[in-house]
Structure 1
Amino acid sequence: MENQDNETFYTEDDLLQSKTGLTPTDEFATIRMEGYSVEFSDTFSRSWDFMKPHLGQLLAYTLLCFFSYLTLSFIVPQIAGYMGTLGYLVGAIVNLTMISALLAGFYSYYQKIYENDKVSFQNLFDGFQHIKELALYQILVVVILVIPFLIIFFIAQKLGVNDTVDIFDTNTYETFTIGFYLFFVIPSCLIFTLYIFTPILIVVARMNFWSAMETSRKLVMANFIGILGFVVGFALLNLLGLLFLGLGLTITLPLTFAATFILYTKLIEKNGGGTNFGGDFYADENAPLDAF
């Protein structure tokens, strides 16, 4: 059922409307040189106003995402088990890709709202239109994260801390809890922060995965502490939602994606020059690639 209530959308005083495109033509070069701030409270407030008129559909979709995640978490390992050790890695990538496509649907849905288009529940599944680029992005992130993950076990074996170290043995995680957090959880948080805008750039700006990752990295590095604070703030918010039997996540999760989308549009507005050309960002003559 399509939502016809366009009157409930945010006003022009809050955010730019469809006349401003969602693809940065210069890789956010302006604000990367001039700097930018991340206003958590303002972004939170705008995000809530942005998603509130569509809360019913968003809650239903979030529950669907949870159900899909639990289902995939049960089915994929069963299938992967027949493939041996490699199967678990393949299964993890498949699981991540499917969930990533589901979650990316929030951005396609929010794009429709931002552009004052008619929006329906089906738009939440538009993330699957970009599943190839999302999959490549997830694979590369997994590769990046596996490196520190393997280092800790390699060092442990070299030092003879535990001669029975097994990457797939849950007891190993208990033995190396501190090292696990230092070499895996912390780098994971930093990597997630660097590439926080990648799914948005893939979905709404139609970039390929590498262009999206590089653009996100360059933008985040212009104010890494600010974006990291944004990530930590909403991570704590979702943790709070998890405490209420997980039901709070049905609100905090779509709110987190709304906040990320709103932050992105605010940066587009501040940078100026957004377009709607999309496609292969680096190959487009209107999107010159700068070196770093």
Structure 2
Amino acid sequence: MENQQDDFFYTEDNLPQPQQDFGFTPTDEFANIRTQGYSVEFGDTFSSSWDFMKPFLGQLVAYTLLCAFSYLALTFIIPQIVSFMNSSIGYVVGAIVNLTVISALLAGFYSYFEKIYNKDKFSFQNLFDGFEYIGQLALYQLVFVIILILPSLLIIFALDTFSAFNPNFKSLDADLLSYGLIGIPSILIFTFYIFTPILIVLAKMNFWSAMEMSRKLVLANFTGVLGFVIGFTLLNILGLLFIGLGTLITIPFTFAATFILYVKLVKKNGASTNFSGDFYTDENAPLDAF
């Protein structure tokens, strides 16, 4: 395993060996690539991500399986714990707890990949480091869900109104159309905030600053990042076709690809980096206006 790791870090042209104390926070708010633009090389990121995670595939698959069991367990256990509440309230509490725990578990992938990339000592336990940021991750998930719900409610209301005035419009057609229309804004919103968890974990940013930074970074090449999101969404759907077992590989692969893409953007930006950059001061946020 150690030889495989060294081969990757020392021979991969597009991901050179990191310097000591390499950070993941450009203190100039990604000014260079936001003004000059950047490309998302899907094929190159795909192959680089696979080479990056392949030596550690066993641990990653085991951890993904743990995340899946945790999700299923919380889905069934939390409603029982809060059964003394009103059923609607209990469902909401269960959903919030589940979403918070799972978001912390999944964010652990980034902490794990950071250790590997910087050649720090790491272990399976590092995959649980996402819980150190559970507060900010929970706030992000809450705001993200609210942003996601608003267009969904508008779409459902519009379809219900249309159905009321058009008796020939079948309920099945309305359901299929609503799923399609809700799916589109969901993918778009997710694309804007794809880098939020990695900014919270690696750049130690608060949730709102991370959301804004992700949005601004994605705006510099929205179509490229959208293609990246759609590509890996389809890959995970493909993983579901094999009784869901394929997702044990496609899920960590998706997080590895997001990490590699972020590292590429940091390197392309070329700015000095640290772990506590303030994006929102006048001297460090030259593009804060958009």
Match of 1:131 among 116, 129, 134: 134
2:151 corresponding residue in structure 1: 148
TM value normalised by structure 2: 0.88
Distance 1:210 1:55 in 2: 33
2:100 corresponding residue in structure 1: 97
- Which digits, 9 at most, give the CA deviation of each residue in 1:86-139, with x for residues without a partner? 332332222111111100000000000111101100000000000000000000
1:39 corresponding residue in structure 2: 41
1:10 corresponding residue in structure 2: 9
Letter in structure 1 aligned against 2:37 = G
SS state at 2:6 partner:
helix
Q: Contact 2:203–2:277 at 8 Å: present in 1 too?
A: yes
Match of 2:55 among 53, 56, 66: 53
Mapped pair 1:75 → 2:77: yes
SS state at 1:273 partner:
coil
Q: How does 1:1-292 map to 2 (within 5 A)?
A: 7-11=6-10, 13-16=13-16, 17-19=18-20, 20-80=22-82, 82-155=85-158, 158=161, 161=164, 176-278=174-276, 281-282=279-280, 286=284, 290-292=288-290
2:168 corresponding residue in structure 1: none
Letter in structure 1 aligned against 2:105 = L
- Comparing 8-17 and 100-109, the one that deviates more: 8-17
Distance 2:75 2:174 in 1: 24
Deviation at 1:223, TM superposition (A): 0.7
Q: Contact 1:50–1:258 at 8 Å: present in 2 too?
A: yes
Q: Contact 1:237–1:252 at 8 Å: present in 2 too?
A: yes
- Which digits, 9 at most, give the CA deviation of each residue in 1:165-202, with x for residues without a partner? xxxxxxxx957323422442211111111000000000
Q: Contact 1:134–1:202 at 8 Å: present in 2 too?
A: yes
Distance 1:277 1:286 in 2: 14
Q: Identity of counterpart residues, as a percentage?
A: 66
Deviation at 1:38, TM superposition (A): 0.5
Distance 2:190 2:225 in 1: 10
Distance 1:174 1:101 in 2: 37
- Comparing 21-30 and 71-80, the one that deviates more: 71-80
Distance 1:251 1:21 in 2: 27
User: Is the alpha carbon distance of 1:157 and 1:13 closer, same or farther for their aligned partners in structure 2, counting shifts above 3 Å?
Assistant: closer
- Comparing 64-73 and 256-265, the one that deviates more: 64-73
Corresponding pairs, count: 281
Distance 2:109 2:216 in 1: 23
SS state at 2:32 partner:
helix
User: Is the alpha carbon distance of 1:95 and 1:176 closer, same or farther for their aligned partners in structure 2, counting shifts above 3 Å?
Assistant: farther
Deviation at 1:79, TM superposition (A): 4.0
Structure 1 alignment gaps of length 5 or more: 163-172
TM value normalised by structure 1: 0.87
